[in-house]
Amino acid sequence: MSSGKDYNRYVKWVRCIVAIVICLTVITVVVLSAKSRINGNKNSEPTTEYSENSVIPEEDEEAYDLPPRVLNSDVVPYDGQRRAISCWGDSMMFGIGAGEAYVSGSDEVLDISGWTTPDTLEYLTGIKVYNLGVSGETSNEIALRQGGIKMYVDNTFEVGYDDSVEVSIVDEYGNPVYMADFSAYGYVEPHEPDVVYINDDMFKITGTEETGLYICRYSETEVGGDAFTTVYEGTQVTTKASYERKGDILILEIGSNGGWDNYRQLISQYDAMIQNAGCDYYIIVGDTDDPGTSIADTSQGFCNEDGTYIGVGDTAWEATLSEAYGEHFINMRTYLIENGLSDAGLRATNADYRGFRRGRISKQLRSDWTHFNSYGYYAKGLAIYEKGVELGYWK
């Protein structure tokens, strides 16, 4: 009987010892694991949580010297006359990448699917807006189409309505000129293609660079009988859009595809377009490529020369345009960093805030590395609208 009790007492002691060993083992594992995590954190880079309170660099780069200029970029008080709006540019004005999108309006959700910047501007102002953006065009090609850079016939000819004759057209520098559409109205506005004005008369151009160009007189109404006219070498040729859109409020967004060798040349192109329009009311839209990605300005890097991020500071390109055009200029890249997402009713992510520090527009506003989606074009249109209100062009 005593031996049975001793056996039971022995089993209890063994169980107690095993329990103690298990507890000590668990404690040891937990302690070692905690030490491992602590040491690991000491040896690794700390994780930064980006938020709207994160500091975004805002130091501006210096502007380059401006070219000799005739244009006065002071803001002229608006005369109150109702004008159309002409938006000249490349694919960023045309609206490549526009797609499905919705924003909250004052009373209901607004369907902005397919909207471009000119669409947005027309909606906000209630004014007719001409989308004169053509994809892929350089600043030189846009200025030529708009009339800032002049075109001339390079041969003398006599022609009527019924038959075409060969024609040679050169720019003011003597370079031969060929266009996909000499009317210059682009791909959005309904128009008769390849119509130009010479001495206030309309002509129609046919042919290509390979076949050569041909020209005849043209009328939008029926003509009774043929009528010949002589055009002399050196006579100016004006695209239909340039001729008909003079006096419009001018929105210019050029330079993203090159066509200029330095900022002085680019500003000279801008100035020529403004002077050709014959209107004191204009807005210059800054480039929206992220720093270091522009194919037009390879001097712009991902960082400033001192290695700091650009953030919402002006690049040299932006600073030079700001110096040249003052209150007429919108730094669209920095506007969209600061306001683009909220304008479109979108929320910034941590990735967005990291991009903002590097001067990058949110990918939520883009359809690819350079073009916007309809959210981006809507926000850009809103920025132009607000600039026009500031300048007194519309209410």
**Both 247 and 308 in a single domain?**
yes
The whole-number pLDDT of residue 117 equals 99
Torsion of CA 353, 354, 355, 359, to 10 degrees: 90
The whole-number pLDDT of residue 6 equals 53
**Both 5 and 144 in a single domain?**
no
**Both 247 and 358 in a single domain?**
yes
**Both 139 and 279 in a single domain?**
yes
Q: Looking at the predicted structure, is the pLDDT value of residue 203 above 90?
A: yes
Q: Looking at the predicted structure, is the pLDDT value of residue 355 above 60?
A: yes
For residue 5, the enclosing domain spans 1-34
**Both 252 and 386 in a single domain?**
yes
Per the structure, the count of domains in the chain is 2
d(CA 174, CA 154): 9
Mean pLDDT of 43-71: 73
**Both 277 and 341 in a single domain?**
yes
Among candidate residues 224, 239, 235, the one with its CA nearest the CA of residue 162: 224
Q: Running DSSP on this structure, what letter comes out for residue 258?
A: -
**Both 260 and 355 in a single domain?**
yes
369: left (phi over 0), alpha (psi -120 to 50) or beta: alpha
**Both 248 and 378 in a single domain?**
yes
Does 72 reside within a domain? no
The whole-number pLDDT of residue 243 equals 98
Does 337 reside within a domain? yes
Does 188 reside within a domain? no
pLDDT digits (tens, 9 = 90+) for 224-235: 778 999 999 999
The whole-number pLDDT of residue 321 equals 98
d(CA 371, CA 95): 8
Label residue 308 by pLDDT band (50, 70, 90): confident
**Both 23 and 89 in a single domain?**
no
> Who has greater pLDDT, 53 or 308?
308
> Who has greater pLDDT, 245 or 37?
245
- Return the structure tokens found at 177: 């000129």
Q: Mean pLDDT of all residues in the chain?
A: 89
Lowest mean pLDDT among 77-81, 248-252, 303-307, 384-388: 303-307
pTM: 0.85
d(CA 115, CA 375): 8
CATH number of the domain that residue 305 is part of: 3.40.50.1110
Mean pLDDT of 241-267: 98
Does 69 reside within a domain? no
**Both 349 and 275 in a single domain?**
yes
**Both 302 and 387 in a single domain?**
yes
